[in-house]
């Protein structure tokens, strides 16, 4: 203010005062205008609008559509709607409220809380309105009320449909669940489509196929008097039920996989290679989705969150694991295809590998090594040194570019929301995060350790691609939509998600024969499930390190706490000649792929191929093979 001459200051003040006065006059005029408008509407036009208000008598009442059912491939119901009975009373139709309540109290259980809440509504709500006395009546209670209904004026039994998952936790990680529409939901949905509907798919298939399952809302045009009392229905537009969703999943297969995993944490994904149909999609432990439908209480939810086994995590979809030696099933093809490496030349395995000019030893799981091994022996016995050398020859970018077409490092495109991408690392990826790529990381890339991460779903899709000789399909959990009324079907088919191109098509058969030898030859790491199998399996075991083993230290399983033990993996498909099923199994902290994961895969394959589960006798001891 000091640097402005005084004259200007007064001039500014004067100009401002004038301008402010003009604005104030404008405001006054406009406020007067509003006042006049209100006076006009509420006195002179009052009668007119009063009449219109009285005549406002027809209003649309939404009728929510029943949600589509979810069934497995054999028609087993996985998600259904069952009626929940609600007891409602219309006070003005009841002569003696006390006596009616007494009678009802004799027929069904009424708590003090029910009565208290009802009394409160009775004081607050208009007398013509139906007031809720109790919800969730049992079938028996509903029947009893229905029986006495003729003698109970003004008592109404309302049935609302509620979502129910009859199998409880089985399959919850693919099904998901519906829950109350939240405030966040309201902002993204088309509100008119959800009029009268209280639930929305939150997770899994329920969310993915929300639009198809929802159906179309119907309307009743109800004539009311000026106080809102319903007089009659003028017009009714019936709701259209949501379409029923049939899955590719076999609920029994799923139960078998869940039982095979038992109390262990893990995942099983089974895919039909030729079609991309997902036959089983299991993550354990599971949890019961039913409490979520009407809002789970915070204590139960906290228990689920705090459970050290993390049941809420979808391990099949979002569990990211180092693939361990299962990656050799894929890199074996690279050995045959690569220009930088001769897959036909045997390699000496002294039990360790070191980079030129470095003293760091990358150890093989087998002390003393495998001797001279070709690709077949390297895969069958899971020789690490062979794949260290292969990885070193391929370079990390070479590995990444080779593995990417199988679907690693990107979403598989499965019909479930929020899929994880896993990770195919490269020096570029690491440098973008300000970190340096070490040569050692290239070496361990060859045995699926280091930064690479894959989901069980990706491993299953990759295995299916081998079975398909390179064709990669988007896995599909849902198979078809069926209109409840017209029975019209819409097939949901898997789209192609690229192809693994090879120079020589014969390499596929070579690779697959080596993978079959893993299971069916005595030296094979999965001979334990192969020696008595009535069909031929191609597979690869894997063990993913959780705890780093220091130089010179050795891994002694029982000396390590369970949570730090290795993850056990097994990937496979069968029968080798015409593949019907590709399976990926992971057992967290399960130890060895051969003993912990492979038997689970065998049970799943037995069910699909033989239609029954053979009781597998204890695996014969073949080698001291830890894989």
Partner 1 sequence: MTLQRLHLDKFLLYALLILAGVSLLLVYSSTGKSLGATAAHAMRLALGFGVLILMAQLRPETLERWSPWIYAAAMALALAVLALGVIGKGAQRWLSLGVLRFQPSELMKLALPMMLAWFFVRQGLPPRQWRLGVAVLILLVPVGLIAKQPDLGTAALVLAGGVTVLFLAGMSWRIIVFLAVALAAATPFAWHFLHDYQRNRILTLLDPQSDPLGRGYHTIQSMIAVGSGGFYGKGWLNSTQAHLEYLPESHTDFVFAVFAEEFGLIGSLLLLVVYALIVARGFWIAYLAQDSYTRLLAGSLSVSFFLHFFINIGMVTGILPVVGIPLPVMSYGGTSIVTLMAGFGVLMSIHTHRRIVEK
Q: What is the largest CA-CA distance in the chain?
A: 108
Interface segment toward partner 1; rule CB under 8 A; list 32-40, 208-216, 450-458, 488-496: 32-40
| Position among 10, 39, 146, 493 found at the interface with partner 1 (CB under 8 A) | 39
Interface segment toward partner 1; rule CB under 8 A; list 18-26, 318-326, 379-387, 520-528: 18-26
If the CB atoms of residues 95 and 227 are measured against partner 1, the closer one turns out to be: 227
127 binds partner 1 (CB under 8 A): no
Ranges of H-type helices in 415-572: 427-431, 439-445, 456-467, 506-520, 527-530
In whole angstroms, the minimum distance from the beta carbon of 15 to partner 1 comes to 4
228 binds partner 1 (CB under 8 A): yes
The 8 Å CB, 24+ separation contacts for 252-257 are 252/74, 252/76, 252/607, 253/279, 253/280, 253/604, 253/607, 253/608, 254/72, 254/170, 254/171, 254/280, 254/281, 254/282, 255/170, 256/603, 256/604, 256/607, 256/613, 257/282, 257/600, 257/603, 257/604
Q: Show contacts with partner 1 in window 53-72 (CB under 8 A).
A: 53, 56, 59
- On whether the CB atoms of residues 396 and 427 are closer than 8 A, the answer is yes
361 binds partner 1 (CB under 8 A): no
In whole angstroms, the minimum distance from the beta carbon of 209 to partner 1 comes to 22
| Position among 116, 123, 227, 263 found at the interface with partner 1 (CB under 8 A) | 227
The 8 Å CB, 24+ separation contacts for 306-312 are 309/265, 309/285, 310/265, 311/169, 311/285, 311/286, 311/287, 312/287
For residue 519, list its beta bridge partners. none
- Residue showing tokens 């988007």: 474
Distance of alpha carbon 80 from alpha carbon 166, whole angstroms: 8
Angle between helices 328-337 and 396-403 (to 10 degrees): 110
If the CB atoms of residues 15 and 147 are measured against partner 1, the closer one turns out to be: 15
23 binds partner 1 (CB under 8 A): yes
224 binds partner 1 (CB under 8 A): yes
Count the Cβ atoms, other than its own, within 10 Å of residue 299: 8
48 binds partner 1 (CB under 8 A): yes
Query: If residue 204 lies in a helix (H) or strand (E), which one and from where to where?
Result: helix 204-208
- On whether the CB atoms of residues 463 and 456 are closer than 8 A, the answer is no
Interface segment toward partner 1; rule CB under 8 A; list 47-55, 134-142, 149-157, 360-368: 47-55
In whole angstroms, the minimum distance from the beta carbon of 609 to partner 1 comes to 46
In whole angstroms, the minimum distance from the beta carbon of 194 to partner 1 comes to 15
If the CB atoms of residues 5 and 617 are measured against partner 1, the closer one turns out to be: 5
37 binds partner 1 (CB under 8 A): yes
486 binds partner 1 (CB under 8 A): no
Interface segment toward partner 1; rule CB under 8 A; list 7-15, 238-246, 376-384, 516-524: 7-15
In whole angstroms, the minimum distance from the beta carbon of 404 to partner 1 comes to 25
In whole angstroms, the minimum distance from the beta carbon of 28 to partner 1 comes to 8
Which two tokens mark 101? 């309540």
52 binds partner 1 (CB under 8 A): yes
- On whether the CB atoms of residues 143 and 176 are closer than 8 A, the answer is no
Please list, in sequence order, all residues whose beta carbon lies within 8 angstroms of the beta carbon of residue 164, skipping any fewer than 6 positions away.
79, 80, 81, 82, 290, 293
If the CB atoms of residues 73 and 198 are measured against partner 1, the closer one turns out to be: 198
Interface segment toward partner 1; rule CB under 8 A; list 17-25, 71-79, 402-410, 538-546: 17-25
| Position among 2, 6, 10, 46 found at the interface with partner 1 (CB under 8 A) | 46
33 binds partner 1 (CB under 8 A): yes
193 binds partner 1 (CB under 8 A): no
If the CB atoms of residues 49 and 535 are measured against partner 1, the closer one turns out to be: 49
CA distances, 503 to each of 68, 159, 477 (Å): 48, 64, 33
If the CB atoms of residues 92 and 428 are measured against partner 1, the closer one turns out to be: 92
Catalytic positions, written as ranges: 325
Interface segment toward partner 1; rule CB under 8 A; list 35-43, 85-93, 205-213, 322-330: 35-43
38 binds partner 1 (CB under 8 A): yes
Q: What mask, x for binding partner 1 by CB under 8 A, covers residues 515 to 544?
A: ------------------------------
20 binds partner 1 (CB under 8 A): yes
If the CB atoms of residues 52 and 506 are measured against partner 1, the closer one turns out to be: 52
C-alpha count within 13 angstroms, C-beta hemisphere, residue 163: 33
CA distances, 580 to each of 252, 326, 505 (Å): 17, 20, 21
Q: How many residues bind partner 1 (CB under 8 A)?
A: 38
Distance of alpha carbon 439 from alpha carbon 437, whole angstroms: 7
Interface segment toward partner 1; rule CB under 8 A; list 45-53, 133-141, 450-458, 469-477: 45-53
Query: What is the CA 299 to chain-centroid distance, rounded?
Result: 23
Angle between helices 396-403 and 384-394 (to 10 degrees): 100
If the CB atoms of residues 191 and 612 are measured against partner 1, the closer one turns out to be: 191
Which two tokens mark 426? 């490269």
**DSSP code string of 66-101:** PPPPEE-TT--EEEEEEEEEEEEE-GGG-S-HHHHH
If the CB atoms of residues 8 and 504 are measured against partner 1, the closer one turns out to be: 8
Nearest CA to 457 out of 575, 323, 599, 600 is that of: 323
| Position among 6, 90, 97, 124 found at the interface with partner 1 (CB under 8 A) | 124
In whole angstroms, the minimum distance from the beta carbon of 20 to partner 1 comes to 6
Residues that bind partner 1 (CB under 8 A): 1, 4, 8, 12, 15-17, 19-20, 23-24, 27-28, 30-31, 33-35, 37-39, 41-43, 45-46, 48-50, 52-53, 56, 59, 124, 224, 226-228
């Amino acid at each position: 203010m000091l640097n402005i001459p005084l004259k200007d200051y007064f001039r500014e003040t004067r100009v401002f005062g004038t301008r402010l006065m003009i604005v104030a006059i404008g405001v006054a005029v406009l406020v007067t205008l509003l006042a006049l408008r209100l006076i006009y509407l509420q006195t002179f036009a009052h009668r007119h609008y009063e009449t219109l208000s009285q005549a406002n008598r027809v209003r649309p009442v939404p009728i929510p559509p029943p949600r589509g059912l979810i069934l497995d491939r054999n028609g087993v119901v996985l998600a259904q709607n069952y009626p929940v009975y609600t007891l409602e009373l219309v006070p003005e139709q009841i002569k003696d409220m006390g006596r009616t309540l007494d009678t009802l109290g004799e027929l069904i259980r009424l708590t003090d809380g029910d009565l208290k809440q009802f009394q409160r509504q009775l004081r607050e709500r208009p007398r013509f309105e139906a007031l809720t006395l109790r919800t969730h009546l049992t079938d028996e209670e509903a029947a009893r009320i229905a029986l006495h209904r003729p003698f109970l004026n003004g008592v109404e039994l309302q049935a609302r449909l509620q979502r129910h998952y009859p199998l409880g936790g089985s399959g919850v990680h693919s099904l998901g669940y519906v829950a109350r529409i939240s405030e966040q939901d309201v902002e993204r949905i088309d509100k008119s489509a959800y009029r009268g509907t209280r639930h929305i798919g939150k997770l899994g298939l329920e969310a993915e196929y929300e639009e198809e399952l929802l159906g179309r809302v119907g309307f009743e045009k109800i004539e009311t008097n000026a106080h809102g009392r319903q007089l009659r229905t003028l017009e009714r537009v019936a709701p259209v039920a949501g379409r029923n969703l049939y899955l590719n999943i076999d609920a029994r297969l799923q139960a078998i996989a869940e039982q095979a995993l038992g109390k262990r944490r893990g995942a099983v994904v089974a895919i039909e290679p030729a079609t991309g149909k997902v036959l089983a999609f299991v993550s354990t432990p599971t949890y019961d989705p039913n409490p979520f439908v009407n809002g789970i209480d915070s204590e139960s939810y906290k228990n689920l969150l705090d459970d050290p086994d993390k049941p809420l995590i979808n391990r099949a979809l979002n569990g990211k694991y180092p693939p361990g030696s299962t990656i050799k099933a894929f890199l074996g093809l690279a050995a045959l295809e690569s220009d930088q490496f001769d897959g036909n030349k045997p390699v000496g395995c002294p039990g360790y590998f070191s980079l030129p000019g470095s003293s760091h030893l990358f150890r093989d799981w087998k002390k003393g090594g495998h001797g001279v091994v070709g690709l077949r022996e390297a895969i069958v016995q899971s020789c690490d040194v062979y794949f260290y050398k292969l990885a070193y020859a391929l370079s990390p970018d070479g590995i990444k570019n080779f593995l990417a077409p199988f679907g690693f490092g990107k979403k598989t495109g499965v019909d479930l929301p929020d899929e994880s991408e896993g990770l195919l690392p490269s020096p570029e990826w690491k440098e973008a995060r300000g970190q340096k790529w070490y040569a050692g990381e290239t070496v361990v890339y060859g045995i699926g350790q280091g930064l690479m991460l894959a989901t069980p779903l990706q491993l299953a899709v990759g295995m299916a691609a081998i079975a398909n000789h390179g064709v990669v399909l988007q896995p599909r959990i849902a198979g078809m939509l069926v209109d409840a009324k017209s029975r019209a079907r819409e097939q949901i088919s898997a789209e192609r998600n690229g192809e693994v191109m090879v120079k020589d098509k014969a390499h596929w058969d070579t690779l697959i024969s080596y993978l079959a030898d893993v299971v069916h030859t005595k030296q094979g790491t999965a001979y334990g499930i192969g020696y008595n199998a009535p069909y031929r399996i191609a597979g690869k075991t894997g063990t993913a390190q959780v705890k780093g083993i220091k130089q010179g230290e050795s891994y002694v399983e029982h000396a390590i706490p369970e949570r730090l033990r290795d993850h056990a993996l097994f990937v496979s498909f069968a029968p080798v000649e015409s593949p019907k099923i590709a399976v990926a199994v992971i057992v967290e902290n399960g130890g060895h792929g051969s003993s912990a994961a492979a038997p689970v895969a065998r049970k799943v394959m037995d069910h699909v191929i033989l239609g029954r589960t053979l009781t597998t006798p204890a695996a014969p001891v073949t080698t001291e093979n830890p894989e």
